[in-house]
Structure 1
Amino acid sequence: MIIPYFKNRHVPICFSADENYVPYLCVAIQSVIENTLDELNYDIVVLYEGLSFYHVKNIESLSSAKNISVRCYDVKEYMKAGLRGLFETKAYYTLATYYRFFIPDIFKKYKKVLYLDCDIIALQDVSVLLDIDLGDNFVGAVRDLGVVQQINTIDGWEKYFREDLKINNLENIFQAGVLIFNVVKFNDYNLLEKCVEKIHILPNPRVLDQCILNSVCEYRVHFLEPEWNVMWNLPFLAKDLKSELGGDVYEKYMEARRNPYILHYASFIKPWFEPDRELASFFWNYARRTPYYESILFLNLIHRKVPFRERFFNFKFLHQIYRILPNSLQGKLSEVKIAILK
């Protein structure tokens, strides 16, 4: 359990990371820090398991001012409780994504906490999110337009959310990369217990813990403005994004994309491997001021030594073929893709 670092006016923010994502985590934290207010105290906690002393030291070195604290918290005790085997991972997702389940218990001493994914860039002060009155809702979040896109274009996705996850209103599926946790309500509801129960019923969720959280939290979500979680990847593989999202949703997305508050580098397409992509420059702006800038550059050079694997799965026509395949073949193709990308 975490004890608040500051006595008052604290802004609790939580990340989770594994060894491979530390460089990008630090860029995300740097972006948050550079958009803080002097009169508030920012209490940043990174959930991890198995990080080296070198990485922990570098992460905590980001505490660059009196009103900024960056701490690392080992979740190994939580993972011992027979849970590790339940947590399925796939594609570019890692086990660290499931640490979200533990947040309400780890942050019992707080009323609310803001969770952010490692592949985000904050372009506004995030403290305003914790000023939002969540009422009896469990979380505050942005609707997941990526899922909307997939439901509208990929056979079997609507059936999965309706029949497997038992979600009634598909328009209200939220994206879990930016979450305001109502800690008190979550603990009253026994979040971890509910999530584990759901994983036993649905052992291979398509979008991992996000599926579980959506199923458990349906009807108890405060929806945020789309600017607070702008997924950069939606246009990249779309055949016609406007028709795939619907006219009104498309216009709201494009407006948010032009002025994002939090930019989310979702999907396997990442700015650290594709710096020429639209909106990638925001990532590199903050990366230059982290301890891992040279490491990120080096990893990018290694990645570019294999241009075939980098470009092959970005071709739009292959993505269109993938969309019309049966679910079983989609799964097999995804396994082959990840094997090549590794």
Structure 2
Amino acid sequence: MKGGGANGVAATKRRWKGFVIAVMGLVILSMLVPLVFLLGFHNAFHSPVTLSLSGSDFPSQQQHDSSSSSSQHDSDSVALGAYQSHNHTMDQHDETRHIEDLIERLAPALPKERVGKQDHEIFAQDGLNRSMTKAPMHVYQPKGSPGHRVETNVREASPERKNVNISKPIEVRQLAKGDESEIPCELRFGSYCIWRREHKEDMMDSMVKKLKDRLFVARAYFPSIAKLPVHENLSRELKQNIQDFERIFSEASTDADLPPHVEDKLRKMETAIARAKSVPVDCNNVDKKFRQLVDLTEDEANFHTKQSAFLYQLAVQTMPKSLHCLSMRLTVEYFHTSSEVLEDSVTEKYVDPKLYHYVIFSNNILASSVAINSTVVHAKESSKLVFHVLTDRQNFYAMKLWFVRNMFKKASIQVLNIEEYNIIPGSSLPEESRITFQSHKFPKMHYETQYVSLFSHAHYFLPEIFKILDKIVVLDDDVVVQQDLSALWRINMGGMVNGAAENCAVRLGQLENYLGRTNFNRNSCAWMSGLNVIDLARWRDLNLTGIFRRMVEELTMKSRQHEATASKASLLTFQDQVYALDDTWVLSGLGHDYGLNLQFIKNFAVLHYNGNMKPWLELGIPKYRSLWFKFLNREDQFLSDCNVIP
């Protein structure tokens, strides 16, 4: 009985053992089926997005991608491990097809014409963003190219990206190194931006800049290294190198001032930095320090940019020292010159209506001299030319002596003091304005900037100053004449008062906020001073001077700002009284536009240097300055005494 009982117990145990094994098998199968399902779902929809621009570097990076994903949740890690083991069994062809299939799925987010360009653009859209919130996006480039492997975490790529709503498309652009074409700095700093780009030179003091760069990096790593006791020697070495570099910069700012053996110090610093980079430190601390240094550097750079722009504008508006010297020397010499030499001998020509009368408003001796000389040189009959130079009291005596000392063929020159006609000093020069408005010509540009030069308050005294004359030509002092201008007196202006060059890039409708009025023709083009044919008889009949004064009063009352009121009132006063001269008469823009072709310039009768970069300033555009300087009389002794000759 005992033996039978024992056999029965053994049989029962075997049956229970088989049952337990069967249950365990069912449990294992029940776990594997969902796992296989999840594995397929993960493989189809939640795999990390990897774009291969070369098509050859993808397989070599699978192991790295496995390690970079180890920080996810446990369940994700199990699934990802199974996914990677499966990928190891795939050949390169299958992986390439997988990537191509993924790109096709994301076709709206990744246009085909953009993929594969060296300067690539990546657009992350809604479907892609959800899969990228956990895993970073990797962009692979061919080996040896700049930025071979770039990792961009959509949430933590930069401080600006932290608050980005990733449900919206995100555009990441990689611009060419040194590309400044996308920086709209002209609206902030005017023509200074153009001048800075034109005068951009190769980097000087490259060693100083390299030393500063290494000091910048060492300061970023030092706080993190100093917290690690095991790297006390490295911390001491970094500190010593930083102090050495700071001592160098306290005594030197250029390569020529650097002490000897500075290359050895640079090598020591680079070695210490290399060791610091190999130390496992908290990247957040280094990143934070870098950001602090970058913010300080950006603030300093922005300050210097604003300061440079201010100094540039100051240089534009201030008379150069050499021209001030010339005016003072001539003024002193005027009072040492006998009255017989200064006496006018051709006064009858000043009021002869049969002659060609030119009027120039100027406080600049050289500028007015060039404008007159270039006109006389190209005139067929210089004896018929009469120039009336209107200046202020400060420059009157210097201007008068200059034109007594310098003869311009047979032309007659009269110098008048504009302040004798009760005109406010400084209001005699043309009003130049830089107007920025929304552009309709270039859709990609939000704003467009144009330089407009118009009559000042003093120009509206012309009918009173020249009561006997019926027709005159008004020249700005920043012009150069290249052809004979006698044909201007034969133009039939059809009852219009002002023959001028129109600037249809600026229409009055675009200046509605600037003008502050609504009762004007919105399609009327702006007109330019520089070369203006004036019918004084018609001016008097229409009483344009009275209309101008009423316009000034209205504009001042509405805006309570006196700045540029003359320009606004001039546009409105002459909006229906401008006769458009042929386009070949005047070319404007030589004081701000770098894009004018020198061969194209020769076709115009008058060149107008409107803008900040006048040719007599060092800031002037170099390729246009020679056209101005060739009409300057360089033989006068005062020019060399005041160092005017460049």
TM-score range, shorter chain: 0.5 to 0.7
Paired with 1:236 and 1:296, the residues of 2 have a C-alpha distance of: 33
Of 451, 454, 460, 1:101 maps to 460
1:69 maps onto 2:412 in alignment: yes
- Tell me: CA distance 1:299–1:210, structure 2 relative to 1, closer, same or farther (3 Å): farther
| Partner residue, 2:626 | 281
Q: Distance in 2 between matches of 1:180 and 1:104?
A: 13
Q: Deviations over 1:193-250 (max 9, x none)?
A: 2211111112357755343222111122111012222113487378xx9xxxxxxxxx
1:236 aligns with 2:585: no
Alpha-carbon distance in 2 for matches of 1:131, 1:17: 27
Residue 357 of structure 2 is matched in structure 1 by 12
**Residue number among 149, 153, 159 corresponding to 2:512 in the alignment:** 159
Cα distance, 1:85 vs structure 2 = 10
Displacement after TM superposition at 1:108 (Å):
2.0
User: Counterpart of 2:606?
Assistant: 262
Identity %: 19
Among 541, 545, 548, the alignment partner of 1:188 is 541
Residue-by-residue CA offset, 1:155-205 (whole Å, 9 max, x unaligned): x95323564385414452110221111100101122222211111112357
Q: What is the aligned residue count?
A: 276
Could you tell me whether the CA contact under 8 Å between 1:140 and 1:180 is conserved in 2? yes
Match for residue 493 of structure 2?
Answer: 134
Q: How much has 1:136 moved relative to structure 2?
A: 1.3
Structure-2 separation of matches of 1:117 and 1:165: 30
Where does 1:193-208 land on structure 2 (aligned, <5 Å)? 193-203=546-556, 204=561
Classify the secondary structure of the residue corresponding to 1:200: helix
Question: Given that residues 391 and 428 in structure 2 are in contact (C-alpha distance below 8 angstroms), is that contact kept between their aligned partners in structure 1?
Answer: no
Q: Secondary structure at the match of 2:415?
A: strand
Decide whether the 8 Å contact of 2:357 with 2:387 is kept in 1: yes
The CA deviation string for residues 9-50 of structure 1, in whole angstroms up to 9 with x for no partner, is 4101000112xx222111111111111112750011011221
Closer/same/farther in 2, CA of residues 61 and 166 from structure 1, 3 Å limit: farther
- 1:249 is aligned to none
Deviation at 1:278, TM superposition (A): 3.1
* Counterpart code for 1:265: Y
Q: Which residue of 2 aligns with 1:116?
A: 475
In 2, Cα distance between equivalents of 1:15 and 1:212: 21
Give the distance between the partners of 1:39 and 1:9, measured in 2 at CA: 14
Q: 1:85 to 1:263 in 2, by over 3 A?
A: closer
Deviations 1:251-274 (A, max 9, x none): xx9996451210000011112224
**Which residue of the partner structure matches residue 218 of structure 1?**
575
Q: TM (normalized to structure 1)?
A: 0.67
> What is the CA distance between 1:126 and its match in structure 2?
1.6
Q: 1:28 to 1:86 in 2, by over 3 A?
A: closer
Instruction: Specify the alignment match of 2:639 in structure 1.
Output: 294
The reply to whether residue 144 of structure 1 matches residue 503 of structure 2 is: yes
Checking the alignment, whether the CA contact within 8 Å between 2:399 and 2:415 is kept in structure 1 is: no
Q: Where do 5+ consecutive residues of structure 1 fail to align?
A: 242-252, 302-342
* Alpha-carbon distance in structure 2 between the residues aligned to 1:292 and 1:196: 44
Mapped to 1, the partners of 2:579 and 2:383 lie a distance apart of 24
Tell me which moved more, 228-237 or 105-114: 228-237
* CA shift in 2, pair 1:7/1:185, >3 Å: closer
- Note if 1:54 corresponds to 2:398: yes
- Counterpart of 1:266, as a letter, is N
Secondary structure in 2 matching 1:160: helix
CA distance in 1, matches of 2:587, 2:551: 28
- The secondary structure found in structure 2 opposite 1:173 is strand
Structure-2 change in CA distance of 1:6 and 1:46 (3 Å): same
CA contact (8 A) 2:427 2:456 kept: no
Which AA in structure 2 matches 1:28?
A
Note the alpha carbon deviations across 1:264-315, whole angstroms, 9 max, x for none: 00011112224553332210111245749937984687xxxxxxxxxxxxxx
Residues 27 and 290 in structure 1, CA contact (< 8 A), matched pair in contact too: no
Q: In structure 1, what is the Cα distance between the partners aligned to 2:635 and 2:573?
A: 37
Q: 1:86 to 1:259 in 2, by over 3 A?
A: closer
The answer (yes or no) to whether the contact 1:58–1:291 under 8 Å persists in 2 is no
Between 1 and 2, higher relative CO (CA 8 Å, sep ≥ 6) is seen in 1
Q: Is the 8 A contact 1:232 1:279 kept in 2?
A: no
CA contact (8 A) 1:176 1:210 kept: no
1:173 aligns with 2:526: yes
Q: Residue 110 and residue 255 in structure 1: after superposition, are their counterparts in 2 closer, same or farther (change >3 A)?
A: farther
Pairwise CA RMSD of aligned residues? 4.0
Please tell me whether Structure 1 or Structure 2 has the larger radius of gyration of its CA atoms.
Answer: 2
Matched residue type, 1:294: L
Mapped to 2, the partners of 1:167 and 1:257 lie a distance apart of 34
